[in-house]
């Protein structure tokens, strides 16, 4: 292994090494660790200059980072804390076992919390500060699968009833239950952060810590020493998101951030690194990223053995074993440990000679020793200048004995037989007799017991209970009519894109007295298009946030719109990371709860890289009741010209469908966007609704029309008649539905149909198929459940009930969008859309290829009329010819 310590390199004399070590010890004693470190650094430089090739290693030996002599005194009552922890262990286990007795395979996890109990309890008793009036509180991301432990603790704290625990994983039972994992959507007074989709919480925690600094630097909250704690599994670190942003944390010097990685060396099905050492691997990754790394590997029982080992043999031996061996060793008998671990060297055997086998079996790991864990946490909260990660070694399923301790199957263990329950009871001293214990009752000592009194006192000292979610912000008051009115007027013939129109609104919102400061514009990068659209000028006006200000003279300093970074900059320009930007958006969009500040995020990105790329973060945001706006820029499969297959987005509105509280809009005109944003702010920040908005904006410039009368309600509900047919009395009639930039193609088709084919068509702007669909299924549901009452009519049906003629819809997204509302239309609906892979072409060619241009809309309309027997075949044939349509062109769906 690369962390091996060689005790006798190249036959060097023991005594010589000993002399070096002793002089270092004496420097350490007389002058302290800083001087010792400096000497070593100088030695390293000296060695390099003299041609000594020192191999790079980001690893330290396989030993505790904090030496015994620097370990602080444990400030709590260790015995009492152990008893409390044991009760929590019992109740956590009882929840899972009982739930599975009532309903086979309802699930739940015992072994994750069993291994992490000490890591949490030291936090609860000594570190996690609650949010109070005076102090913002620490922010804790609890590992999702450890939730039974958090519930069991809340039960002892008197915050959750036995009934609730009984209904673990059965929220639908009378009186309610507890959600399987942390879900603010399901338990909005309890959980703050959803963590169970692995990898999301470490990344969210990093950006949360960064956002806290942003708020401080912008003067929106006082600077405090509040911490963000994130508890992760070692298996979880394989998710790319887990380590994907760790360099941001160190670059930003986020010493308000602490990761605790529970290194039980196991994941769901087996060892995380059976043939390697996950702890050393993580250490080098985090040290390489300049984090402060604290390893907590061995418990206090090992201290004396290390003390006796003057030759460093023990550390060397520890570094030799791979995790697969460790997994076996820590659950083996003392005799096995003696033979297989210490037995590799007679000198090692000698070290443990005085210890009986039983003592060897009880050599605890660091993550199960409160004193070691306390020392690590204390060092982490006191550390300045960089984030800290604590790598704590534990045993998965600790205390489960034969029922699963350290076994590969332990993650899924949900049932214990009678003997196993009794053994667990005895091991943790739960005051239940042999008969009662097999019923696995919840156990809470009397309110005046020392345990409950102690537990309450500790939480009181730390400000109250954790986790706890509450809404701390006050609702906005203004209507902001004046702010948005100007955008109802149209652009007076000037060609602008909806992105440009949106940027105009953003600029105005930023100047508003009520919401100006609250706006948080977030961009991964400012794409070329956005520069042309005037977003650049925002850099100059509100500045790009940088925790160190601007340390260089920007290359474009002589221009009016130079790249301005500032410590109080408002824009979060995150770089090419949609995941990171979304995490910032989540932090900003949940600050109404976390900080009591109504920050309003506007996250602007390439629409293809949103729902498609970071859907799980958006799902987490929705679970967290995030408020704010996602702006899918350069959207529309045929509207983004030249970028081809990877970039052209005809998907995102379909992918927005599954997220229940996302309102998705595909507006065509500036006034539609103005209406949607104004209403969004009203709903989210005035009325406190748990919804968030997805709005696509395009880069195709065209004249923005004025709002045609009061169509606000229609815009918000999903559709309204934009331009009625000129000749309403015509014999041939049609209703055309268009969205986004394709609405213009529909308007052109309206003209062609009228002038060339005598078809009078009304044109509707469909701003949201999702809204229409949601309303439709809701009406159906209500009618099904209330057959005796007056049937509800879907909004879309009401709109088109009396609208004559054939029905044709065209959008820049998949045909499934119009298709899903067709059943609420009075007649058949023909849908045009952009199913298929994009092409690197201009808009005209793309719209021809995907068959969504005005000619294809015209043809579709004529075809519908033909099917209805309203026009002759010959009209169709001639139209195909006149419109220049190649009937044998390639099929975009499969080509």
Tell me phi and psi for residue 198, to 5 degrees. Answer: -60, 140
457 is written with which tokens? 């006192």
Q: Measured from the CB atom, is 117 or 544 closer to Mg ion?
A: 117
Site stretch for ligand TPP (CB under 6 A), options 233-241, 285-293, 385-393, 768-776: 233-241
Distance between CA 636 and CA 638 in Å, rounded? 5
Identified binder of ligand TPP from the candidate list 3, 167, 201, 266, rule CB under 6 A: 266
153 is written with which tokens? 């603790």
Q: What is the DSSP letter of 704?
A: P
Identified binder of ligand TPP from the candidate list 235, 319, 580, 833, rule CB under 6 A: 235
Torsion angle defined by CA atoms of residues 58, 63, 67 and 73, in that order, rounded to the nearest 10 degrees: 120
Query: Which SS3 state, helix, strand or coil, does residue 151 take?
Result: helix
Q: How far is the CB of 236 from ligand TPP (least distance, A)?
A: 4
Q: What is the CA radius of gyration of the chain?
A: 33
Q: Measured from the CB atom, is 235 or 794 closer to ligand TPP?
A: 235
Q: What is the DSSP letter of 684?
A: I
Q: Give yes or no for a cis peptide into 590 (omega within 30° of 0).
A: no
Q: Measured from the CB atom, is 118 or 570 closer to ligand TPP?
A: 118
Residue 591 burial by CB count (10 A; 0-12/13-18/19+): exposed, middle or buried?
Answer: buried
Q: How far is the CB of 149 from Mg ion (least distance, A)?
A: 15
HSE toward the beta carbon, residue 760, CA cutoff 13 A: 12
Distance between CA 704 and CA 491 in Å, rounded? 5
String of contacts with ligand TPP for each residue 558-597, x by CB under 6 A:
----------------------------------------
Q: How far is the CB of 233 from Mg ion (least distance, A)?
A: 4
Exposure string for 38-70, b = 16+ CB within 10 A, e = fewer = eeeeeeeeeeeeeeeeeeeeebbbbbbbbeeee
- If binding is defined by CB under 6 A, does position 393 make contact with ligand TPP? no
Q: How far is the CB of 396 from ligand TPP (least distance, A)?
A: 5
- If binding is defined by CB under 5 A, does position 234 make contact with Mg ion? yes
Give, to the nearest 10 degrees, the angle between helix 450-461 and helix 78-102. Answer: 100
- If binding is defined by CB under 6 A, does position 267 make contact with ligand TPP? yes
Q: What is the DSSP letter of 406?
A: T
Exposure string for 826-845, b = 16+ CB within 10 A, e = fewer = eeebbbbbbbbebbebebee
Compute how many residues bind ligand TPP; rule: CB under 6 A.
17
Q: How far is the CB of 183 from ligand TPP (least distance, A)?
A: 13
- If binding is defined by CB under 6 A, does position 396 make contact with ligand TPP? yes
Identified binder of ligand TPP from the candidate list 154, 198, 203, 664, rule CB under 6 A: 198
Exposure string for 330-368, b = 16+ CB within 10 A, e = fewer = bbbebebbbeebbeeeeebeebbeebeeeebbebbbbbb
**Binding partner at 198 among Mg ion, ligand TPP, none, C-beta below 5 to 8 Å by kind:** ligand TPP
- If binding is defined by CB under 6 A, does position 118 make contact with ligand TPP? no
- If binding is defined by CB under 6 A, does position 268 make contact with ligand TPP? yes
Q: Measured from the CB atom, is 233 or 521 closer to ligand TPP?
A: 233
Q: How far is the CB of 250 from ligand TPP (least distance, A)?
A: 23
Q: Measured from the CB atom, is 234 or 423 closer to Mg ion?
A: 234
- If binding is defined by CB under 6 A, does position 848 make contact with ligand TPP? no
* DSSP bridge partners of 737: 764, 809
For the beta carbon of residue 557, count every other beta carbon within 10 angstroms.
11
HSE toward the beta carbon, residue 869, CA cutoff 13 A: 0
**Binding partner at 858 among ligand TPP, Mg ion, none, C-beta below 5 to 8 Å by kind:** none
- Alpha helix (H) residue ranges in 218-340: 240-244, 246-251, 278-288, 303-308, 313-320, 323-329, 334-340
**Binding partner at 164 among ligand TPP, Mg ion, none, C-beta below 5 to 8 Å by kind:** none
Q: How far is the CB of 288 from ligand TPP (least distance, A)?
A: 21
Distance between CA 664 and CA 335 in Å, rounded? 64
Sign of the four-CA dihedral 685, 576, 216, 287: positive
- If binding is defined by CB under 6 A, does position 405 make contact with ligand TPP? no
- If binding is defined by CB under 6 A, does position 615 make contact with ligand TPP? no
| CB 870, CB 857: distance < 8 Å | no
Kindly identify the residues of this chain, within the stretch 271-290, that bind ligand TPP according to CB under 6 A: 272
- If binding is defined by CB under 6 A, does position 847 make contact with ligand TPP? no
Q: What is the DSSP letter of 218?
A: T
Query: Which SS3 state, helix, strand or coil, does residue 602 take?
Result: strand
Exposure string for 86-103, b = 16+ CB within 10 A, e = fewer = bbbbbbbbbbbbbbbeee
Q: Measured from the CB atom, is 264 or 811 closer to Mg ion?
A: 264
Q: How far is the CB of 3 from ligand TPP (least distance, A)?
A: 22
Kindly identify the residues of this chain, within the stretch 137-176, that bind ligand TPP according to CB under 6 A: 145
- If binding is defined by CB under 6 A, does position 776 make contact with ligand TPP? no
Whose structure tokens read 């396989």? Answer: 62
- If binding is defined by CB under 5 A, does position 199 make contact with Mg ion? no
Identified binder of ligand TPP from the candidate list 262, 598, 652, 797, rule CB under 6 A: 262
- If binding is defined by CB under 5 A, does position 369 make contact with Mg ion? no
- If binding is defined by CB under 5 A, does position 405 make contact with Mg ion? no
- If binding is defined by CB under 6 A, does position 323 make contact with ligand TPP? no
Q: Measured from the CB atom, is 322 or 875 closer to ligand TPP?
A: 322
Site stretch for ligand TPP (CB under 6 A), options 265-273, 282-290, 451-459, 730-738: 265-273
Q: Which residue is nearest to ligand TPP (CB)?
A: 233
- If binding is defined by CB under 5 A, does position 252 make contact with Mg ion? no
Sign of the four-CA dihedral 547, 550, 555, 558: positive
Q: How far is the CB of 96 from ligand TPP (least distance, A)?
A: 13
Site stretch for ligand TPP (CB under 6 A), options 1-9, 229-237, 339-347, 371-379: 229-237
Q: Measured from the CB atom, is 112 or 147 closer to ligand TPP?
A: 112
**Binding partner at 118 among Mg ion, ligand TPP, none, C-beta below 5 to 8 Å by kind:** none
Identified binder of ligand TPP from the candidate list 138, 166, 217, 236, rule CB under 6 A: 236
Identified binder of ligand TPP from the candidate list 264, 292, 491, 639, rule CB under 6 A: 264
538 is written with which tokens? 């925002």
Q: Measured from the CB atom, is 376 or 862 closer to Mg ion?
A: 376
Distance between CA 35 and CA 201 in Å, rounded? 38
Closest-CA residue to 459 (of 114, 157, 256, 757): 157
Whose structure tokens read 């948080």? Answer: 520
Kindly identify the residues of this chain, within the stretch 797-816, that bind Mg ion according to CB under 5 A: none
Q: What is the DSSP letter of 571?
A: B
Identified binder of ligand TPP from the candidate list 100, 112, 139, 831, rule CB under 6 A: 112
- If binding is defined by CB under 6 A, does position 413 make contact with ligand TPP? no
Q: How far is the CB of 139 from Mg ion (least distance, A)?
A: 23
- If binding is defined by CB under 6 A, does position 491 make contact with ligand TPP? no
Compute how many residues bind Mg ion; rule: CB under 5 A.
5
Q: Measured from the CB atom, is 279 or 526 closer to Mg ion?
A: 279
- If binding is defined by CB under 6 A, does position 196 make contact with ligand TPP? yes
| CB 315, CB 61: distance < 8 Å | yes
The CA-based angle 126-128-129, given to 5 degrees, is 105
Whose structure tokens read 């191999």? Answer: 55
- If binding is defined by CB under 5 A, does position 235 make contact with Mg ion? yes
Q: What is the DSSP letter of 488?
A: G
Q: How far is the CB of 46 from Mg ion (least distance, A)?
A: 42
- Which residues here bind ligand TPP, judged by CB under 6 A? 112, 145, 196-198, 233-236, 262, 264, 266-268, 272, 396, 411
- Which residues here bind Mg ion, judged by CB under 5 A? 233-235, 264, 266
């Amino acid at each position: 292994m690369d962390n091996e310590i060689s005790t006798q390199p190249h036959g060097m004399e023991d005594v010589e090494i000993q002399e070096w070590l002793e002089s270092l010890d004496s420097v350490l004693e007389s002058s302290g660790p800083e001087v010792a470190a400096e000497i070593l650094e100088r030695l390293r430089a000296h060695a390099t200059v003299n041609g000594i090739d020192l191999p790079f290693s980001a690893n330290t030996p396989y030993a505790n980072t904090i030496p015994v002599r620097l370990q602080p005194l444990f400030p709590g009552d260790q015995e009492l804390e152990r008893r409390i922890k044991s009760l929590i262990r019992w109740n956590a286990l009882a929840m899972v076992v009982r739930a599975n007795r009532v309903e086979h395979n309802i699930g739940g996890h015992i072994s994750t919390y069993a291994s992490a109990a000490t890591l949490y309890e030291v936090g609860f008793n000594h570190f996690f500060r609650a949010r109070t009036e005076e102090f913002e509180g620490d922010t804790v991301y609890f590992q999702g699968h450890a939730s039974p432990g958090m519930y069991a603790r809340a039960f002892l704290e008197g915050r959750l009833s036995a009934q609730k625990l009984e209904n673990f994983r059965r929220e639908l039972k009378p009186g309610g239950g507890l959600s399987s994992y942390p879900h603010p959507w399901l338990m909005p007074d309890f959980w703050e952060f959803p963590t169970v989709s692995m990898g999301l919480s470490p990344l969210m925690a990093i950006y949360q810590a960064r956002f806290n600094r942003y708020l401080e630097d912008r003067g929106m909250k006082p600077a405090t020493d509040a911490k963000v704690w994130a508890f992760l599994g070692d298996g979880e670190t394989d998710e790319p998101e887990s380590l994907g942003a760790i360099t941001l944390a160190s670059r930003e010097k986020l010493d308000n951030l602490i990761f605790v990685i529970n290194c039980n060396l196991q994941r769901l099905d087996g060892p995380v690194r059976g043939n390697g050492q996950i702890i050393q691997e993580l250490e080098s990754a985090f040290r390489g990223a300049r984090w402060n790394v604290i390893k907590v590997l061995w418990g206090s029982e090992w201290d004396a053995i290390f003390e006796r080992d003057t030759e460093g043999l023990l550390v060397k031996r520890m570094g030799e074993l791979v995790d697969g061996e460790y997994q076996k060793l820590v659950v083996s008998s003392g005799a096995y440990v003696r033979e297989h671990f210490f037995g590799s060297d007679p000198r090692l055997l000698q070290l443990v000679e005085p210890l009986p086998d039983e003592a060897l079996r009880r050599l605890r790991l660091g993550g199960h020793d409160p004193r070691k864990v306390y020392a690590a946490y204390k060092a982490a909260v006191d550390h300045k200048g960089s984030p800290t990660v604590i790598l704590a070694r534990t045993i998965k399923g600790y205390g489960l004995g034969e029922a699963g301790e350290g076994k590969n199957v332990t993650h899924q263990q949900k049932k214990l037989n009678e003997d196993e329950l009794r053994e667990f009871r005895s091991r943790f001293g739960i005051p239940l007799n042999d008969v009662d214990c097999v019923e696995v009752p919840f156990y809470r000592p009397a309110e005046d017991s020392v345990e409950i009194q102690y537990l309450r006192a500790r939480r009181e000292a730390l400000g109250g209970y954790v986790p706890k979610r509450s809404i701390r912000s006050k609702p906005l008051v203004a209507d902001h009519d004046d702010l948005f009115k100007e955008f109802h007027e149209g652009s007076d013939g000037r060609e602008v894109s909806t992105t440009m129109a949106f940027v105009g609104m953003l600029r105005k919102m930023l100047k508003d007295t009520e919401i100006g400061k609250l706006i948080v514009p977030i961009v991964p990068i400012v794409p070329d298009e956005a520069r042309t659209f005037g977003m650049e000028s925002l850099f100059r006006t509100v500045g790009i946030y940088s925790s160190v200000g601007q340390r260089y003279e920007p290359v474009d300093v002589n221009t009016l719109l130079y790249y301005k970074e500032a410590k109080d900059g408002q824009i979060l320009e995150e770089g090419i990371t949609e995941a990171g930007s979304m995490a910032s958006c989540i932090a900003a969009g949940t600050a109404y709860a976390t900080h009591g500040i109504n920050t309003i995020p506007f996250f602007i990105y390439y629409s293809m890289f949103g729902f498609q790329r970071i859907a799980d973060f958006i799902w987490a945001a929705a679970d967290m009741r995030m408020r704010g706006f996602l702006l899918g820029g350069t959207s529309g499969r045929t509207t983004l010209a030249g970028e081809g297959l990877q970039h052209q987005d005809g998907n995102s509105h379909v992918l927005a469908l599954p997220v229940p509280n996302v309102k998705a809009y595909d507006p065509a005109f500036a006034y539609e966007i103005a209406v949607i944003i104004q209403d969004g702010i009203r709903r989210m920040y005035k009325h406190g609704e748990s919804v968030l908005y997805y709005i696509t904006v395009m880069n195709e410039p065209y004249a923005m029309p004025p709002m045609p009368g009061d169509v606000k309600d229609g815009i918000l509900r999903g559709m309204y008649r934009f331009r009625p047919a000129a000749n309403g009395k015509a014999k041939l009639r049609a209703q055309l539905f268009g969205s986004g930039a394709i609405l213009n193609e529909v308007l052109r088709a309206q003209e062609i149909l009228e002038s060339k084919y005598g078809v009078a068509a009304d044109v509707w702007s469909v701003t949201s198929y999702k809204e229409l669909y949601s309303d439709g299924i809701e009406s159906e549901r209500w009618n099904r459940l209330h057959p005796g009452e007056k049937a509800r009519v879907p909004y879309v049906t009401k709109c088109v009930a009396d609208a004559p003629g054939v029905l044709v819809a065209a959008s820049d997204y998949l045909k499934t969008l119009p298709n899903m509302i067709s059943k609420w239309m009075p007649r058949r609906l023909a849908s045009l859309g952009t199913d298929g892979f994009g092409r690197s072409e201009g808009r005209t060619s793309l719209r021809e290829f995907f068959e969504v241009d005005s000619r294809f809309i015209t043809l579709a309309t004529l075809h519908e009329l033909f099917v209805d027997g309203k026009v002759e075949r010959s009209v169709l044939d001639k139209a195909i010819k006149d419109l220049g349509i190649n009937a044998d062109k390639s099929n975009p769906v499969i080509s």
